Amino acid sequence: MKHSGIALTGLFVLAITATVEAAGEDRDRYDSSKPVTVEGAVLTSTFEDPNATIAVKASDKIWTVTMAPVSQMIERGVKADLVAVGKTVSAYGYQSKVEMNEMRAERITVDGKTYQLR
């Protein structure tokens, strides 16, 4: 019995460590020293975990806008229909260091209302 409790505690610690490391990698992927605002029509919308994403046709190119996990989006008042195809959005966040057409949104504005995502 004691060994199974120790094993479960070890697994829990490993899971927490992996989660913290993944969050750190996510922050390292984006350049917070160079904020960007992307405005345009939503071409595609994927409202599922690990993060909701939209493709936005801006004036310069098509951007992949990575948002927050779905549960966090819903907590902040953003539901799938708010970022549906055809909507016009403005997303403020940080450009990816890896993918030049991707950014992580810190907040989005839709229909005149701003939603903080992080």
Q: Domain containing 9 — which CATH number? A: 2.40.50.140
| Cβ contact 25:17 at 8 Å | no
Compute and round to an integer the Cα radius of gyration of the chain. Answer: 17
Give pLDDT tens digits for 23-33. Answer: 445 668 999 99
| pTM exceeds cut of 0.95 | no
Number of structural domains (the chain) is: 1
Residues of the domain holding 40: 2-116
Residue 2 φ/ψ, nearest 5 degrees: -65, -40
Q: What pLDDT digit, counting tens, does each position of 65-117 carry?
A: 999 999 999 999 999 999 999 999 999 999 999 999 999 999 999 999 999 99
Maximum CA extent, the chain: 63
Give the chain's end-to-end CA distance (angstroms, integer): 41
